[in-house]
Amino acid sequence: MAFELPPLPYSRDALAPHISEETLNYHYGKHHQAYVNNLNKMIDGTDLEGKPLEEIIETAEADSSKAGLFNNAAQVWNHTFYWHSMKPGGGGKPSGAIADKIDSDFGSYDKFAEEFKGAGGGQFGSGWAWLVLKNGKLEVRKTPNAETPLTEDGATPLLTMDVWEHAYYLDYQNSRPNYMQAWLESVVNWDFANQNLADAN
């Protein structure tokens, strides 16, 4: 079975005005779709055809000759995870277990937000900011291009923010800081982070 573009968990205009329908038309409808199409072409007729996405990512990551396959497979996974890391009416300080964990591991939500925005803003060029759980402790990560904590032993991704220019340029032009601020204030999905935290424990 070929991979298909996973459905969005909300309508394309649901995150507006913070992330516009136009951005999702391009980002989800064009970029994410292209990664899915490329992935299907690359695995067609190979021993990876029919394998789970995570297995393809791990296999490709371990073989430098499969860099193109890794980039497309990881970007399919990263983007799917990113869409779920947002929700209409999201944003603001979290509640539940993730809130307690952020307070204990970062000192406060504000310290977490500062570190998370620092990771996103400090990622030169294209990439991602992540909240992960590793060895029972929350950590912030930044990864370039298609890199993902999924390939890091013992690291469980809880949330991600896409900081590739196509994630924000139509809405925020070259102001990545304004996008990151709006992302945390208005769209981040703490329910998703809480669920991932629960699943990891």
Give the tens place of pLDDT for each residue, 155-191: 999 999 999 999 999 999 999 999 999 999 999 999 9
Give the pLDDT band (50/70/90) at residue 201. Answer: confident
Q: What pLDDT score was predicted for residue 74?
A: 98
Tens of pLDDT, residue by residue over 123-150, are 999 999 999 999 999 999 999 999 999 9
**Residue 1 scores a pLDDT above 90:** no
Q: What pLDDT score was predicted for residue 118?
A: 97
Whole-number Cα distances in Å, 56 to 52, 70, 87, 118: 6, 8, 28, 31
What pTM, to 2 d.p., does this model score?
0.96
Give the pLDDT band (50/70/90) at residue 120. Answer: very high
Which of these, 108, 150, 159, lies nearest to 131 by C-alpha position? 159
Percent of the chain with pLDDT over 70: 100
**What letter does residue 8 receive in the DSSP assignment?**
P
Tell me the CA end-to-end span of the chain in Å, nearest whole number.
Answer: 32
Tens of pLDDT, residue by residue over 51-70, are 999 999 999 999 999 999 99
Q: What pLDDT score was predicted for residue 182?
A: 98
53 class by beta-carbon count within 10 Å (0-12 exposed, 13-18 middle, 19+ buried): middle
13 class by beta-carbon count within 10 Å (0-12 exposed, 13-18 middle, 19+ buried): middle
Domains in the chain: ranges and CATH: 21-84 (1.10.287.990), 97-200 (3.55.40.20)
Tokens of 154: 């013992």
Q: How far apart are CA 199 and CA 158, in angstroms?
A: 10
Vertex 14 angle, CA 158 and 8, to 5°: 55
Q: What pLDDT score was predicted for residue 154?
A: 93
Q: What pLDDT score was predicted for residue 191?
A: 98
Give the pLDDT band (50/70/90) at residue 151. Answer: very high
R_g of the chain, CA atoms, integer Å: 17
